[in-house]
Chain A
Amino acid sequence: MISRRKALRAGAGLAALATVGAPSILHAQTKTLKITTWGGKWGEVMKATVLPAFEKEFKCTVSADQAFPFLPKLQVSSKNDPIYDVLHANSNEQWNAVVEGLVMDKITAKEVPNIADVYPYAVSDKIVGVTIFTSAIGLGYRTDKGLTKPTSWKDLADPKLAGSRGGYLIPVNSLGQAHLMMLGKVYGKGLTDLDAAYKALEALKPIKLVDFTGQMEKMLLSGEVSMGVIHDSGVYRYEGPNMQPVDFASPSEGVLALEQVLNVTPGSKVKELAFAYIDYMLRPDVQKLLAEAVWYSPANKKVKLDAKYDAKLLTTPEKVASLIQPDWKWYNARREDIDARVTKILKG
């Protein structure tokens, strides 16, 4: 038999629990999705249009971190309570993340239905996560310096360009890293032929090296370099009234893919919402909006861009076939040695 005192105490306890629990039940209605995002024009469009629409449709709040770099912060946070639910990064970083167990290693159409509609490159074995956009890494060049449009990666080594060609600090920039691997393919046996790549790198000296693509854009725009490694988005965005005498060339050996990849953290407490977000970012209307804002090529096959974007971006299976995806897992494993070697070659 339960004594009256015990019953009263139990009742009071239950009531207290209910009052404490009630706010958390209410709280459970508005979940928070923690994502990362780039700044600039991309960030503007996300904050103004894409994210508010997502929040409304899925009845949640999105907390978008713009303070790059993201992976170091994810590394420090605990696996059970990660600081992000969705990580937006380039493919090389996603590979760094998966090696440490910070992101999931496979996402299929079961979790994200729209995966069924993407180009094969978006979920290839060179990708961990889901690609939502890509750019093509090729050669940017000035059209007013009497140069013929480059047709091969080897055109960058043209002796006439000595002192006016541009590249990146390889240890810190993924375009620079991709370019290094490309040198192995063009001058040697393939993307993993580092010896040929190092030799070709040596032959590219003197070359002006910068830290990030914004600096490369500035070098091209000010005429400091006449040709440099850059992605198509960085050149095409200067169009219309902002037209500049800079154009983009896709070398015949192929262009390298600079993918924008989304992935989910295994410890995330709102996994369904995270998958829903990736699915949302693959919707044709959302893809069209962002692709046209920043000149990215959408991963969803079903997206119909306006004519001027369609002409230049990779929107058909044929064009997409020219994309080369490096093996980042392989590269990241050798990173320390490559960084040291490259620094020695290019110094002085």
Chain B
Amino acid sequence: MTTAARLSPIAWLIAPAGLLFVLFFVLPFAVMTAMSFYSGNPVTNPNAFLTTRHYERFIFDTAGIFHEALWSTLRIGLITTIVSLLIGYPLAHWMARMQSRLGHALVLMAVIAPMLTGIVVRTFAWMTILQDKGVINTTLMQWGLIEKPLPLMYNEFGTIVALVHIYVPFMVLTLTGVIGRIDERLEQAARSLGAGRLRAFVEVTLPLSLPGILAGSLLVFALSISAYVTPSLMGGTDVLTLPMLIAQQVGTSFNPNFAGALGVILLLVSLAIVVAYNRILARLAGGQGMA
């Protein structure tokens, strides 16, 4: 492989994305970051002054809820990612290897449908399924398997179930493209050399699908740590994540400056995780001798 140090002309293809991001992401968020160092909105409020009190409020956390909110966010994100992967991989594999075009289309639609239900209706559907008088609990109680209803909703469990449900499709669609690109004959070759199906999968397909696994995990993790509508509706007070706090500060506490500060903190933490993740991805991909 050549190791050209010069920019290839292909590099210019990044320009449209770069322009979009600079204008619509960097600039607005630079403004918001600046605002997070003010007590109010300096444009409309002549009394607003520079202060670091929003950041201090988070760092010193005298209220005792902010640090916990950050850990909750990361924890829920991690669990959601792992569960989504465990559920998404078999589905992606099935879809990628499916012979019939019709079957493939049907599974594709079934996988995508959850993403389209719409935030609030989806919550009502989960309420119907998970709450004390919901489908699961009434069925289990009718069959005599449990005596008291299981607390499946208004807690972290319910939140994770709902989040996984939304994000599995993202995992599946990311993985299925990658798995689909893996030449089946590599697996067949392993089989013809005597490996069982499981071994062929674990030692051939799985490692080759690693970039997809990492890409899908990164996507789901990023999404789940920024989710706030679903946790608010599904979690009661048992769940308080940083995005939920941010939404509260914007929508009901009317403190956009503090919200901006929290957003900056969340973004910095997330970026640190993502950069580390990408380094691993690059090392793994490089270690396998691929482009």
Contacts and interface: CB of A to CB of B under 8 A. Distances in A.
Given A211-B232, A211-B233, A75 B133 contact: no
Given A171-B248, A209-B154, A222-B127, 11 more contacts: A72-B251, A100-B45, A163-B132, A169-B237, A172-B251, A215-B233, A218-B127, A222-B133, A339-B253, A342-B237, A347-B237
Contacts of B250: 69, 72
A302 interface: no
Contact of A343 (B43, B127, B132, B237): B237
A346 B233 contact: no
A11 B253 CA distance: 57
Contacts of A96: 254
A347 B236 CA distance: 9
A79 B240 contact: no
Contact of A72 (B40, B63, B236, B254): B254
A208 B133 contact: no
A96 B238 CA distance: 27
A78 B44 contact: yes
Contacts of A64: none
Contacts, number: 82
Contacts of B124: 218
Interface size class of B (residues with CB under 8 A): 20 to 34
B146 to A, nearest CB: 14
Contacts of B240: 343, 347
8 contacts: A76-B256, A78-B44, A79-B44, A100-B40, A171-B252, A172-B251, A211-B233, A339-B253
Interface in A77-103: 77-79, 96, 100-101
A222 B65 contact: no
Contacts of A202: none
A69 B252 contact: yes
A340 B233 contact: no
Interface in B15-41: 40-41
B64 A344 contact: yes
Interface residues of A, number: 39
Interface string A218-238: 110011100000000000000
Most buried by A among B44, B233, B238, B256: B44
A222 B125 CA distance: 12
Contact of B256 (A72, A101, A172): A72
A224 B132 contact: yes
B237 A222 contact: no
Nearest to A99: B254
B248 A172 contact: yes
A209 B232 contact: no
A72 to B, nearest CB: 5
Contacts of A342: 237
A240 interface: no
A335 B255 CA distance: 11
Contact of A75 (B41, B64, B127, B131): B41
Interface string B215-244: 000000000000000001100111010000
B238 A75 contact: no
A208 B44 CA distance: 40
A215 B132 CA distance: 14
A339 B236 CA distance: 14
Given A69-B252, A72-B250, A344 B65 contact: yes
B237 A346 contact: yes
Contacts of A211: 232-233
A42 to B, nearest CB: 18
Contacts of B232: 169, 172, 211
A71 interface: yes
B73 to A, nearest CB: 15
A275 B41 CA distance: 28
Contacts of B236: 169, 208-210
Contacts of A317: none
Contacts of B252: 69, 171-173
Nearest to A342: B237
B43 A69 contact: no
Contacts of B238: 347-348
